[in-house]
C-alpha cells in the first residue's frame, strides 16, 4: 500500500456509520505519587495517595475510542451502564466523543456499571507502573428487559450501518451484553443483510456465534477448531479452513508474530508485527486491531491493506504507556510513510 492508496482508504472514514455492540466499561485510572507515601495510623498499612483521577471508556469503549480517533462519521454504541456514579462518568465520556450517538445506549438500575479501576504509580523519569486492578462486574444473569432493549437497539440501527462490531468482554456467559437473545438478533441481521460487514470478538470464544467475521488469537482458533496450531503454516491453514467453511473472513492475532487474515475464497495473508521502539504496554492492542480492520474493510480496503493498517495501529497503541491508547490517521501515516 502506497501513500496515495492510504489516503484513498482513510478519506472514506468520515462517511462511514459504524455500530459497536458489546460490553462497555469505565476505565478509571488512579495516579499514585509514591513521594507522598505515608502509614495509616489506624491499620499500620502503607497509604497510596492518589494525586489525579482520569476516566475513559474501556472494553468495547476502547474500540469506540479508536474509531473516534480515525474520524469515523457516525458511531452508535449499543450496550448499557448502571444508574450509578461510574455510569454517569461513562455515559458522559461517551457523549463527549465526536460522532457518537447514544440513542441506543441503555441506562439501567438493574445492573452495575462494568468498571476497571487501575491504580497507577507515576514516578518522574520512570514508566507508569500499574498495581493490582480493582474490577466491578455483574455476576448475575442479564435481566430480560435490558437484553430486549439492546436487541431492539441493534435491529433499529443495523440497517443504517456500514459495519457492526460485536465485543463480548465478560468472563461468565449471559452476564453481559452479548446474551443468547442478542446473538439471535445478530443472526437475524445476517439473514436480512448477508453482505453487511460484521465482526465479532469474544474472550470466551466464538463457538456459538452466528456467521459473522471472526477475530481471535491463535489459542482461541485452536480451541475452536479442536486442532493444535503452533507454526505459522498451521495457523494459516486453520484460519483458511475456518474461513472457507464459515463463509466469512477470519482474523487471527499472533502477538509479536503479527496477524493472519483468511478469506472464504482461499486468500490468506500474514503481516508481521512492527518491531518495538522502546517501552511497551500491550493493553488495548487487540481493540485497536478490531477498530482498524473494521474501518478499513468498510471503506473498501483489501484484506492485505486492512491487515497492514491494523498492525500499524497496534504498534502505535502499545507504545502509549499508562493508558489504553488510540491511533489516529495522522499517527498511522507518520508510521507507515515516514518523511
Using CA atoms, how far apart are residues 32 and 34, in angstroms rounded to an integer?
A: 6
Does an H or E element contain 224, and which? helix 218-225
User: Phi and psi of 189, rounded to 5°?
Assistant: -65, -35
- Cell output for 220: 482461541
Query: What is the rounded distance in angstroms from the CA atom of residue 224 to the CA atom of residue 251?
Result: 13
**pLDDT on residue 286:** 94
Local structure of 337: helix, strand or coil: coil
The domains located in the chain, with CATH, are 3-336 (3.40.1190.20)
Measure the CA–CA gap between 207 and 197, rounded to whole angstroms: 19
What is the spatial distance between Cα 90 and Cα 82, in angstroms, rounded to a whole number?
9
**Three-state SS for 25?**
strand
pLDDT means per 10 residues, the chain with 339 residues, are: 96 98 97 93 95 96 98 98 97 97 97 97 91 96 97 96 97 96 96 95 94 96 91 96 95 96 97 93 92 98 98 96 92 95
The whole-angstrom separation of Cα 82 and Cα 111 is 5
82-102 confidence digits (pLDDT tens):
999 999 999 999 999 999 999
Whole-model pTM: value is 0.95
What pLDDT, on the 0 to 100 scale, is given for residue 296? Answer: 98
Q: Please give the Cα distance from 156 to 43 (Å, whole number).
A: 54
Contacts of 231 (CB under 8 A, 6+ apart): none
Amino acid at each position: 500500500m502506497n501513500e496515495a492508496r492510504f489516503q484513498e482508504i482513510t478519506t472514506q472514514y468520515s462517511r462511514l456509520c459504524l455500530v459497536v455492540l458489546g460490553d462497555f466499561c469505565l476505565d478509571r485510572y488512579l495516579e499514585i505519587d509514591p513521594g507522598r507515601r505515608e502509614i495509616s495510623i489506624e491499620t499500620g498499612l502503607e497509604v497510596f495517595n492518589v494525586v489525579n483521577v482520569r476516566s475513559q471508556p474501556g472494553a468495547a469503549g476502547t474500540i469506540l475510542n479508536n474509531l473516534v480517533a480515525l474520524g469515523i462519521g457516525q458511531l452508535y454504541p449499543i450496550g448499557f451502564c448502571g444508574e450509578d456514579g461510574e455510569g454517569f462518568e461513562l455515559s458522559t465520556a461517551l457523549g463527549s466523543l465526536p460522532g457518537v450517538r447514544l440513542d441506543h445506549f441503555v441506562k439501567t438500575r438493574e445492573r452495575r456499571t462494568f468498571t476497571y479501576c487501575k491504580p497507577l504509580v507515576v514516578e518522574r523519569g520512570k514508566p507508569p507502573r500499574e498495581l493490582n486492578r480493582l474490577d466491578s462486574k455483574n455476576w448475575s444473569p442479564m435481566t430480560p428487559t435490558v437484553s430486549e432493549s439492546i436487541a431492539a437497539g441493534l435491529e433499529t440501527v443495523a440497517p443504517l450501518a456500514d459495519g457492526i462490531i460485536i465485543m463480548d468482554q465478560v468472563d461468565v456467559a449471559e452476564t453481559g451484553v452479548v446474551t443468547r437473545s442478542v446473538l439471535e438478533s445478530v443472526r437475524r441481521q445476517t439473514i436480512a443483510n448477508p453482505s453487511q460487514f460484521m465482526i465479532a470478538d469474544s474472550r470466551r470464544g466464538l463457538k456459538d456465534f452466528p456467521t459473522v467475521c471472526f477475530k481471535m488469537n491463535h489459542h482461541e482458533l485452536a480451541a475452536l477448531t479442536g486442532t493444535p496450531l503452533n507454526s505459522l503454516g498451521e495457523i494459516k491453514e486453520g484460519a483458511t479452513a475456518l474461513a472457507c467453511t464459515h463463509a466469512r473472513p477470519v482474523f487471527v492475532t499472533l502477538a509479536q508474530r503479527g496477524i493472519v487474515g483468511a478469506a472464504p475464497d482461499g486468500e490468506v495473508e500474514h503481516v508481521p508485527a512492527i518491531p518495538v521502539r522502546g517501552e511497551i504496554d500491550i493493553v488495548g492492542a487487540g481493540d485497536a486491531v478490531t477498530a482498524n480492520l473494521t474501518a478499513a474493510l468498510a471503506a473498501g480496503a483489501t484484506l492485505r491493506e486492512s491487515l497492514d493498517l491494523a498492525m500499524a495501529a497496534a504498534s502505535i497503541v502499545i507504545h502509549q504507556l499508562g493508558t489504553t491508547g488510540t491511533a489516529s490517521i495522522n499517527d498511522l501515516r507518520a508510521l507507515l510513510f515516514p518523511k
